[in-house]
């Protein structure tokens, strides 16, 4: 069973860069597409983007100028960087996997990241 | 921009059947796969339907998905409702640029 675990700072200051890592266990990072999705408190889900192990990416146009998703096949990890954050970026961030782009089969447990000074 | 519209809430009694709709704003919803995710309070989402009508292992066959091209909508049907089915349900698909799009979510109350 493939499991995903998000890690990274839970508190980020405004204007700084949010950085999260998703560690994949129980499967190879070369087998799936890997996504980041977020959910502001009390609100719905928002697609951030995805990456394939080859490095090809696809980002939400509304976040594209601030987002970088990368993959480290040697560590079976992929990561999210979101720059110039504001309070509006406060959310639970989920990493997820799928056999096809934008088709999610499994989710991480999520991590709440708060943007505040 | 491609959007998916869901009812804000639905409610039904235990043992009954409920259907949650998800309507596409443009194009044909049948052109790209639709997924359904269940999110219980305080928990991460889980996938209950993928690729329109496929159930991941472990999801009971009380959950089914379908596409209706005539109404440009997808549906999640849950039969034999249980109190444990009470959750938020999100439909999701993608546009022609493979950008993921979520519906706004439907709160299912089993009372």
Note the pLDDT of residue B1. Answer: 84
CB pairs under 8 A between A and B: 60
Q: Do residues B8 and B57 touch, judged by C-beta distance below 8 A?
A: no
3-state secondary structure of A24: strand
Note the pLDDT of residue B26. Answer: 82
Between the two ends of chain B, the Cα-to-Cα distance in Å is 36
Give B29's contacts (C-beta < 8 A, 6+ positions apart). Answer: B22, B23, B67, B69, B72, B73, B74, B93
- In this complex, the residue of A47, A58, A107 whose CB is nearest that of residue B45 is A107
Note the pLDDT of residue A44. Answer: 97
> Choosing among A41, A62, A104, which should be mutated to test the B contact, i.e. which has the most B CBs within 10 A?
A104
Q: Which pairing describes strands B18-24 and B4-5: parallel, antiparallel, or unpaired?
A: antiparallel
Does the beta-carbon distance from B105 to A108 stay under 8 Å?
no
d(CA A27, CA A102): 19
d(CA B57, CA B50): 11
User: Is residue A99 scored above 90 in pLDDT?
Assistant: no
Note the pLDDT of residue B56. Answer: 96
For residue B85, CA distances in Å to B13, B15, B51, B65, B90 come to 11, 11, 21, 15, 13
Tokens of B60: 């009971």
Task: Provide the pLDDT confidence category of residue A54 given band limits of 50, 70 and 90.
Answer: very high
pLDDT, tens only, A14-49? 999 999 999 999 999 998 999 999 999 999 999 999
| pLDDT in single tens digits along all 111 residues of chain B | 899 999 999 999 999 999 999 999 988 888 999 999 999 999 999 999 999 999 999 999 999 999 999 999 999 999 999 999 999 999 999 998 999 999 999 999 999
> Choosing among B91, B97, B100, B101, which should be mutated to test the A contact, i.e. which has the most A CBs within 10 A?
B100
């Amino acid at each position: 069973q493939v499991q995903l675990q998000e890690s990274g700072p839970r508190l980020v200051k405004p204007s700084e860069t949010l950085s999260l890592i998703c560690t994949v266990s129980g499967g190879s990072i070369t087998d799936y597409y890997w996504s980041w999705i977020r959910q502001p408190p009390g609100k719905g889900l928002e697609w951030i983007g995805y990456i394939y192990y080859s490095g090809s990416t696809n980002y939400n146009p509304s976040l594209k100028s601030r987002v970088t998703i990368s993959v480290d096949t040697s560590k079976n990890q992929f990561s999210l960087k979101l720059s110039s954050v504001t309070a509006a970026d406060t959310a639970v961030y989920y990493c997820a996997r799928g056999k096809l782009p934008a088709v999610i089969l499994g989710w991480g447990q999520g991590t709440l990241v708060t943007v505040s000074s | 921009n491609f959007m998916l519209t869901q009812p804000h809430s639905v409610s039904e009694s235990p043992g009954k059947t409920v259907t949650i709709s998800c309507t596409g704003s443009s194009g044909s919803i049948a052109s790209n796969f639709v997924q359904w995710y269940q999110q219980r309070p305080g928990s991460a989402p889980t996938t209950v339907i993928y690729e329109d009508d496929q159930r991941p292992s472990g999801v009971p066959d009380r959950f089914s998905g379908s596409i209706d091209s005539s109404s440009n909508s997808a549906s999640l049907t849950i039969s034999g409702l249980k109190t444990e089915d009470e959750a938020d349900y999100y439909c999701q698909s993608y546009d022609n640029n493979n950008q993921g799009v979520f519906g706004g979510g439907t709160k299912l109350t089993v009372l």
